[in-house]
């Protein structure tokens, strides 16, 4: 399977009635990593042997943003799925994925304001089912909105993580120091739930991406 976030991005571009433009839109970018071509990091990607799957539920134009790190997860985990979030008309493919008996859907989200009976700290694997980690990909405010307004997720357990270290994510400024970017959250999830290779490869990929992105901001290359 390829990178579902890039596939979603291509689909949204083809369906869009107007071009999405952000700071740095005139930059010549690699079509895969979305960095300036001289800063491309694609050669360093190492896909992991992974017994889990991921589903990225992406807020509106999130897949367009060069600063998005959800697509880094899709680079590393072979079984990856991405969908644009819609409050009233969720994708039929998304609903089918959630109902697929081969998967064990788990929503990744902080435990605050979540019913205690839904919260889990680690995944107990079910025989014959592959854990499907569902990441709500957007700003913190957008992720909270997606969580509250997605009733089709209400039947699934919520995996809450408590990383002990502060974020190194410097591409966007989170409202609170302890908040992590989507890829960083995934690194913790994988490390704490039996996917050591995925955690290691994603951490390396994220660091490469972050450093290249920040080099671009400090040089003549302008990013979002």
Plot region of 217 (φ>0 → left; ψ -120 to 50 → alpha; else → beta): alpha
Residue 29 in tokens: 């970018």
Q: What confidence category does residue 164 fall into, taking pLDDT thresholds of 50, 70 and 90?
A: low
Secondary structure letter of residue 36 according to DSSP:
B
Residue 212: CB partners within 8 Å, gap ≥ 6?
35, 39, 40, 41
Q: What is the pLDDT of residue 204?
A: 94
Domain boundaries, the chain: 47-208
What is the token pair recorded at 221? 């290359």
Residue 124's φ and ψ, nearest 5 degrees, are -95, 110
Quick: pLDDT tens for 16-72: 766 555 555 567 889 999 999 999 999 999 999 999 999 999 998 899 888 899 999
Instruction: Report the predicted TM-score, pTM, of the whole model to 2 decimal places.
Output: 0.88
Per CATH, the number for 47-208 is 3.40.1280
Tokens of 69: 């790190």
> Following CA atoms 178, 120, 188, 113 in sequence, which dihedral angle do they give, to the nearest 10 degrees?
-20
Separation between Cα atoms, residue 102 and residue 107, nearest integer Å: 16
């Amino acid at each position: 399977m390829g990178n579902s976030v890039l596939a979603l991005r291509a689909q949204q571009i083809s369906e869009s009635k107007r071009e999405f433009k952000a700071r740095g839109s005139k930059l010549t970018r690699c079509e895969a990593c979305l960095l300036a071509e001289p800063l491309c990091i694609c050669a360093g990607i190492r896909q992991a042997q992974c017994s889990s799957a991921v589903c990225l539920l992406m807020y509106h134009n999130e897949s367009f943003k060069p600063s998005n790190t959800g697509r880094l997860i899709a680079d590393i985990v072979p079984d990856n799925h991405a969908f644009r979030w819609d409050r009233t008309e969720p994708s039929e493919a998304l609903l089918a994925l959630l109902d697929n008996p081969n998967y064990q859907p788990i929503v990744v989200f902080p435990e605050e304001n979540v019913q205690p009976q839904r919260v889990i700290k680690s995944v107990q694997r079910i025989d014959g089912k592959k854990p499907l980690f569902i990441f709500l990909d957007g700003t913190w405010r957008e992720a909270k909105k997606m969580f509250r307004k997605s009733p089709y997720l209400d039947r699934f357990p919520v995996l809450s993580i408590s990383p002990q270290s502060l974020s190194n994510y410097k591409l966007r400024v989170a409202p609170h120091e302890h908040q992590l970017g989507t890829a960083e959250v995934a690194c913790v999830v994988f490390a704490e739930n039996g996917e050591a290779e995925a955690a290691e490869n994603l951490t390396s990929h994220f660091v490469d991406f972050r450093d290249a992105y920040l080099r671009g901001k400090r040089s003549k290359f302008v990013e979002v």
